[in-house]
Amino acid sequence: SQQGEEDPQALSIQEGENATMNCSYKTSINNLQWYRQNSGRGLVHLILIRSNEREKHSGRLRVTLDTSKKSSSLLITASRAADTASYFCATVPFAGGTSYGKLTFGQGTILTVHP
Amino acid sequence: DVKVTQSSRYLVKRTGEKVFLECVQDMDHENMFWYRQDPGLGLRLIYFSYDVKMKEKGDIPEGYSVSREKKERFSLILESASTNQTSMYLCAIPGTFGSGTRLTVV
């Protein structure tokens, strides 16, 4: 079942601007991950944030997590044309035993960065 | 670099055929996954395996089976392909995805 909802579904910006994508989920999680997918290719892992973390940075990426609201955001600063892709959030459920790393994905946000 | 390799990038099969999608990983990881991706539906988990010969159903297992005889290889099997199984299929280990197999069933 799809538990993640992403917002917006599509985002179009100019190079140099910041891009913010949001993700909501429904159940308790162990961690939340963001992935990028270029035009029909496989997914590339961007960043993982654990349920006890509130914010994480990696280069031009900043991810926040609000477990009380069951939501996360991905901020890409100073965007480039090469950032054009689909971005997905995915959650690993909190499981008493182990979840094996199963992912439940959001629908994704299509980001277009114009040169 | 961690590699998850899917044997075919594109496949075209006929309705009713038995189809095998192969996936190989080089990280010696216990857990392997098969997802399918469809426009408007996102990625959905079909099956996963947590050890050799061990498997569990995901969210949409109907019409599929899997095989894991060796730790590095996880195969997805479409027992009798149907047009509604036309999709992009993605194999993964935790944190790493293959490039995907775009399957068309005609």
A104: which chain B residues are within 8 Å (Cβ-Cβ)? 45
Is residue A2 scored above 50 in pLDDT? no
Is residue B59 scored above 50 in pLDDT? yes
Split at pLDDT 50, 70, 90, the class of A66 is very high
Distance CA B49, CA B33 (A): 6
- Whether residues B100 and A35 touch (CB distance < 8 A) is answered with no
A33: which chain B residues are within 8 Å (Cβ-Cβ)? 95
Distance CA B87, CA B21 (A): 12
For A25-43, what is each residue's pLDDT tens digit? Answer: 998 999 999 999 998 788 9
More confident residue, B95 or A96: B95
Closest-CA distance of chain A to residue B34, Å: 10
Is residue B32 scored above 80 in pLDDT? yes
Instruction: Report angle CA A96, A58, A91 to the nearest 5 degrees.
Output: 25
- Whether residues A100 and B50 touch (CB distance < 8 A) is answered with yes
Query: Across residues A81-106, what is the average pLDDT?
Result: 86
Calculate the CA B30 to chain-centre distance: 16
Beta bridge mates, B35: B45, B90
Out of B42, B90, B99, the one facing A107 most closely (by C-beta) is B42
Closest-CA distance of chain A to residue B66, Å: 16
pLDDT of residue A1: 36
Distance CA A36, CA B53 (A): 31
Three-class SS of residue A83? helix
- Whether residues A41 and B44 touch (CB distance < 8 A) is answered with no
Q: Are A8 and B58 in contact (CB under 8 A)?
A: no
Percent of chain B with pLDDT over 90: 90
Q: What average pLDDT does chain A have?
A: 91
Closest-CA distance of chain B to residue A97, Å: 13
Closest-CA distance of chain B to residue A30, Å: 13
Query: Across residues A7-18, what is the average pLDDT?
Result: 94
B41: which chain A residues are within 8 Å (Cβ-Cβ)? 2, 107
Distance CA A40, CA A53 (A): 31
Query: Across residues B67-71, what is the average pLDDT?
Result: 96
Out of B50, B59, B97, the one facing A42 most closely (by C-beta) is B97
Reported for A11-17, long-range contacts at CB under 8 A and 24+ positions apart, including other chains, are: A11/A109, A11/A110, A11/A111, A11/A112, A12/A111, A12/A112, A12/A114, A13/A79, A13/A111, A13/A112, A13/A113, A13/A114, A14/A113, A14/A114, A15/A79, A15/A80, A15/A81, A15/A113, A15/A114, A15/A115, A16/A78, A16/A79, A17/A79, A17/A113
pLDDT of residue A43: 93
